[in-house]
Structure 1
């Protein structure tokens, strides 16, 4: 902006100086002509007066020497050279030089003009007698009869004539210099006043270009500059609001992408990773955020996924497929590859979307197995009921002993069928969390002892001992009925799968903010390779014993979902032939 300031100032000064020079030139010529004209008129007027004076004195027959003395005095007073020339050109009198020494003046231009009948004659030249450039005016001298008796010539040095002109020129030059200085100073102040708000506007726009959107113009401009400042402020405010909105949208988008369960990866035209979210790292099994700027091949170890990514680049169309990952662990993902246009023409970016459907496929298999297992479990009692009913209808009912035997079997199978149906309905309810929980203060030991009362008869029939050990007195907020249902299933299973004269121990203690309940038996135990499956529906370790005990194979599945509904966890630890321990952890308060 200093350059603009100097440019405006220098332009104005140059224009003003040029204008002053042109104006001075024309004024100089005008004053020069005017000065010469005024001096000529003055000399002519003085010559006429002096001619009239001489004519009158000559008419009165005055003494010629006295007249010449008076003329000489006038010459001194007027500071002018007076010369009297005869009609023959001879000089009769000269106020500055001896007339006898002067040559004939008949051919002087001013004298010649008068002798030729002009009213006056003028001339300008360097005088041969004085050596000074003089300005001459000549008029005729008339005798009483009106005839020309001679020529009166007045002369004045040109320097004297032009002295006023020079003084005016000097004054004009001084005026121009002063005017230039004053105008330059005023221009400097004015341009500074104009440039300063422009500089502030430029500073604000520079701040805006550097993304400092809180910059504002606060200068005291005038006219259009003030409007420009207001416009810049409106622009800055608009940009700040837009950037704030963009930042908020970016933050929302960032949070959304980072909290998606779908893995997101953005690839540029060179197949390099530009963006990745945590879900993608979890699915791929490594921290892909460390590979930003690297090729996607370094992050993706699946040939199938790499193949459809390259196909999306080639065909420029979205691709979809289920991909099996074998490293670092077995997974099934639903892969969607979406090509999008880049910033530059012809540039292609690709978004890789991965959704881990391993659990979905596992649950689908569980449901399929559940339907198959449920059908199988239901078929056994239904087939038994159908077979015994057909046998009775075929005549076996006539035999009282066989009838009673068959009816007992049919009752047992119907009870089993009812248990299976009830357990399936209960499992469905607890899985879908359709049963509301009633929170109340429950002492865990009281719930265990209450459960012991329900199974004590079965335990006594096998001469088993039921023991409760309370290491820490625990009172928690939970649903008492659901807790009893969990304890009943676990304690009943412990009694079923423990030999006679065995023992079932329930230990209660605190672990941080959790109440821990351990149900331990010294029964047959569970093989280590089957411990991960015991919570599956209809899964039995000892199928024959489970059926003989009236079990449906759904008890532990129900227990697992009940514990999860109570916001707890359940785990199992077992050694084959040494017994099994189920550990339930429940929070002290039901959330």
Structure 2
């Protein structure tokens, strides 16, 4: 833009200079021509006056005529200041104010003489060798009615005219230089006024090209450039609004994609991955920057995945499948591949949606197992009750001893059935979070001692010692009934799986978690049979039993630890287990002192 401004300035200066120079040339020429024309007019008038007072009859007398005309020439020069020459019709000089007529050439061939003999008057401008100056010669016929005629010629030096013209040129050149400087300043100012808005518009256009839509052009003129600036501003404002809207939509889109629970992979028509959300990274075990731009076949994953994508792209039809992946961990993925088309109905690639259905399938399996276990657990006491009832109905009722024994079995099985149904209902309520906690301060020391007292008769039957190591003054916020249910279940579990003469110990102390939360740590340990390591991850599952025979003898339902785990979680606590086969088991509860 600066180069354009300089070029525009120089163009304006040259145009102004040429115009002024042309005007000066015309003015100088007009001044000179007018000056010479006025001088010529004056000389004609003077010669007419001179001609009226001459005696041309002496022109044919050589001696007398030469003396007469020479004398007249000298007198007239003193009066007019011009060189005066008298010329006979044959061109011979009769008298001259500046030279001897006898030494002068014949003037019949001079331009002004020829014109005067032909038209009555003539003029010529030439350099005079005699005086060494440019001279204006004007000749006039003495008798215009009879041509050729004797002639009078006046000549003036043009030195004064040339001096005047030179002065004029000096003034013109000085004025031209001053005008050049002034025109340069004005031209630069005008060029700046034209180019500065264009510079702003150009700069704004570059910034808009660079996606900076906040730029505005500050042009207040009302001309075409002002209208252009207004249009640029309106365009930038419109683009800024559109880009803000696009960025908001893009941010929302990426936010939705990154927070989706399904993995999303977009594959273009060439098989290259162009979109890879966060969930897809977690499911496939690769980062976004590693995958985007690469061909799907470069993904070092299941061979079945590449085949599935290839088949979907080839067929350009929706596809569905489930594949077990073993990297980064074993999981079952549900794959849905749908073709994507551009606005012109041209095939644009495929969208792969990945769902991790491992948990769903596991829950379905657990549900099936739960139904099977419930059916089995319910069927066992019902079968026993039905069988002994049929035996009694068949006549055994008349045997008092057998009748009493069978009635006791029916009663025990009905109690077991009642406990099972009660535990199932309890677990259902706890799992569905339909058990509101009635929180209140609990004196844990007194609470645990009362719970031990409740279990002492049952422990005494097996000769099991119940010990308590509980610090005084421990309080926590909890639902006392639910907390008693937790502790009783764990104590019951320890007594059931501890051989006769064993020991069950309860301890409680205050602790602080890594996050700074103050907790109460309750440990219930036994010297029982222990739990194998392979069974530890599943002991809190419903109906799961480590020793099924012992569970049935003890009358357990297999739901106690599941209920305990859910009640602990309702109290925002944790429960862990540590066990060694043949040594014993310890359950560790951590409950917050104050419920969050």
TM bucket normalised to smaller: 0.7 to 0.9
Aligned to 2:515: none
User: Is 2:529 the partner of 1:518?
Assistant: no
Aligned partner (choices 556, 565, 571) of residue 566 of structure 1 = 571
User: Is 2:413 the partner of 1:413?
Assistant: yes
Aligned to 2:355: 355
Aligned to 1:101: 103
How far the C-alpha of 1:332 sits from its partner, in A, is: 0.5
Structure 1 CA distance, aligned partners of 2:159 and 2:287? Answer: 103
Pairing of 1:351-430 with structure 2 (within 5 A): 352-389=352-389, 405-430=405-430
Structure 1 CA distance, aligned partners of 2:447 and 2:163? Answer: 134
Pairing of 1:45-60 with structure 2 (within 5 A): 45-52=45-52
- Give yes or no for contact 2:465–2:501 (8 Å, CA) kept in 1: yes
| SS at 1:139 equivalent | strand
How far the C-alpha of 1:283 sits from its partner, in A, is: 2.8
Aligned to 2:590: 585
Aligned to 1:536: 541
Give CA deviations for 1:250-271 in whole Å, capped at 9, x if unaligned. Answer: 5555554444433345566776
How far the C-alpha of 1:298 sits from its partner, in A, is: 5.9
- Give yes or no for contact 1:300–1:306 (8 Å, CA) kept in 2: no
- Give yes or no for contact 1:472–1:509 (8 Å, CA) kept in 2: no
| SS at 2:138 equivalent | strand
Structure 2 CA distance, aligned partners of 1:346 and 1:254? Answer: 25
- Give yes or no for contact 2:530–2:580 (8 Å, CA) kept in 1: yes
Structure 2 CA distance, aligned partners of 1:312 and 1:78? Answer: 120
- Give yes or no for contact 2:568–2:574 (8 Å, CA) kept in 1: yes
Aligned to 1:8: 8
Q: Identify if the C-alpha distance between structure 1 residues 190 and 295 changes in structure 2 by more than 3 Å, giving closer, same or farther.
A: same
How far the C-alpha of 1:324 sits from its partner, in A, is: 0.5
Structure 1 CA distance, aligned partners of 2:301 and 2:446? Answer: 56
- Give yes or no for contact 1:82–1:95 (8 Å, CA) kept in 2: yes
How far the C-alpha of 1:113 sits from its partner, in A, is: 4.8
Structure 2 CA distance, aligned partners of 1:313 and 1:472? Answer: 71
- Give yes or no for contact 2:543–2:557 (8 Å, CA) kept in 1: yes
Pairwise CA RMSD? 4.2
How far the C-alpha of 1:161 sits from its partner, in A, is: 5.2
User: Is 2:465 the partner of 1:465?
Assistant: yes
How far the C-alpha of 1:213 sits from its partner, in A, is: 5.5
Q: Identify if the C-alpha distance between structure 1 residues 258 and 77 changes in structure 2 by more than 3 Å, giving closer, same or farther.
A: farther
Aligned partner (choices 549, 555, 575) of residue 550 of structure 1 = 555
Q: Identify if the C-alpha distance between structure 1 residues 450 and 109 changes in structure 2 by more than 3 Å, giving closer, same or farther.
A: same
Structure 2 CA distance, aligned partners of 1:122 and 1:7? Answer: 49
| SS at 2:578 equivalent | strand
How far the C-alpha of 1:170 sits from its partner, in A, is: 4.8
Q: Identify if the C-alpha distance between structure 1 residues 283 and 400 changes in structure 2 by more than 3 Å, giving closer, same or farther.
A: same
TM-score, structure 2 as length reference: 0.82
Aligned to 2:439: 439
Structure 1 CA distance, aligned partners of 2:146 and 2:209? Answer: 97
Gap runs ≥5 in structure 2: 59-65, 513-517
Q: Identify if the C-alpha distance between structure 1 residues 296 and 449 changes in structure 2 by more than 3 Å, giving closer, same or farther.
A: farther
How far the C-alpha of 1:70 sits from its partner, in A, is: 7.2
Give CA deviations for 1:130-173 in whole Å, capped at 9, x if unaligned. Answer: 67553332334469x99998432222245555554554455444
Structure 1 CA distance, aligned partners of 2:520 and 2:509? Answer: 6
- Give yes or no for contact 1:35–1:165 (8 Å, CA) kept in 2: no
TM-score, structure 1 as length reference: 0.83
How far the C-alpha of 1:374 sits from its partner, in A, is: 1.0
Q: Identify if the C-alpha distance between structure 1 residues 304 and 160 changes in structure 2 by more than 3 Å, giving closer, same or farther.
A: same
How far the C-alpha of 1:469 sits from its partner, in A, is: 1.4
How far the C-alpha of 1:191 sits from its partner, in A, is: 1.8
Q: Identify if the C-alpha distance between structure 1 residues 398 and 36 changes in structure 2 by more than 3 Å, giving closer, same or farther.
A: farther
Structure 1 CA distance, aligned partners of 2:490 and 2:81? Answer: 148
Larger displacement relative to structure 2 (125-134 or 539-548):
125-134
- Give yes or no for contact 2:70–2:96 (8 Å, CA) kept in 1: no
How far the C-alpha of 1:65 sits from its partner, in A, is: 8.3
Structure 2 CA distance, aligned partners of 1:77 and 1:438? Answer: 146
| SS at 1:188 equivalent | helix
Q: Identify if the C-alpha distance between structure 1 residues 492 and 148 changes in structure 2 by more than 3 Å, giving closer, same or farther.
A: closer
- Give yes or no for contact 2:120–2:147 (8 Å, CA) kept in 1: no
- Give yes or no for contact 1:139–1:151 (8 Å, CA) kept in 2: yes
- Give yes or no for contact 2:5–2:195 (8 Å, CA) kept in 1: yes
Give CA deviations for 1:418-453 in whole Å, capped at 9, x if unaligned. Answer: 322222222122112122223333333333223224
How far the C-alpha of 1:578 sits from its partner, in A, is: 2.5
Structure 2 CA distance, aligned partners of 1:27 and 1:292? Answer: 80
| SS at 2:194 equivalent | helix
| SS at 1:531 equivalent | helix
Aligned to 1:456: 456
How far the C-alpha of 1:400 sits from its partner, in A, is: 6.5
| SS at 2:190 equivalent | helix
Q: Identify if the C-alpha distance between structure 1 residues 132 and 411 changes in structure 2 by more than 3 Å, giving closer, same or farther.
A: same
